[in-house]
Amino acid sequence: MMDIYQILQKLPHRYPILLVDRVLEVEKGVRIKALKNVSVNEPFFVGHFPHRPVMPGVLILEALAQAAALLSFATLDITLDEKTIYYFAGIDGARFKRPVEPGDQLILDVELGRAKAGIYKFKARAWVGSDLAAEAELMCTMRKVA
C-alpha cells in the first residue's frame, strides 16, 4: 500500500497530470492495483465535454502508465533521480469500453508481462466498479537525460 505522499516521492508528475491517488496492492515483479478518484474539478472536464464530462482516454492510459511505473520502481526497489525519466515506449491494443465520469473511482490494475533490455511490457486494465473501462498493453522504458 502507498499513500499520496509516498507516490509523490516516487513519481515526478504533479498536478494536473499526477493521476494516481493511492496504491492499494503491490506484488513486486507481478502486479499493482492503484486508484484514481475522478473529480468534477479535474481541469480537462472544462472542455471534454462541458455538457457531459468524460475523462479522455489518453489520460486513462496515462494513469495506467503511472501505475506501471510505480510497479517497476517497487520491483527494482529504486526511486528515480532528476536525471532519469520513465517514458512510454508503446501502446498496443488500447480499447475503451465504458466512459469514465466525475464521481467514478478508477481502479488501475497492471500486470508486468516481461522486462527485457530495459523495456517493460505490461497488461493494463482500468475498472469502474466491476465494469471494464479500458485496457491496453503498455511498453515503458527508463532513460537518463542530460
As annotated, the active-site residues are: 48
Closest CA to 105 of 46, 20, 27, 43: 20
CA distances from 112 to 20, 23, 69, 72, 134 (A): 18, 16, 10, 8, 17
3-state helix, strand, coil in the chain (%, to 5): 20, 45, 35
| Residue type at 59 in one-letter notation | L
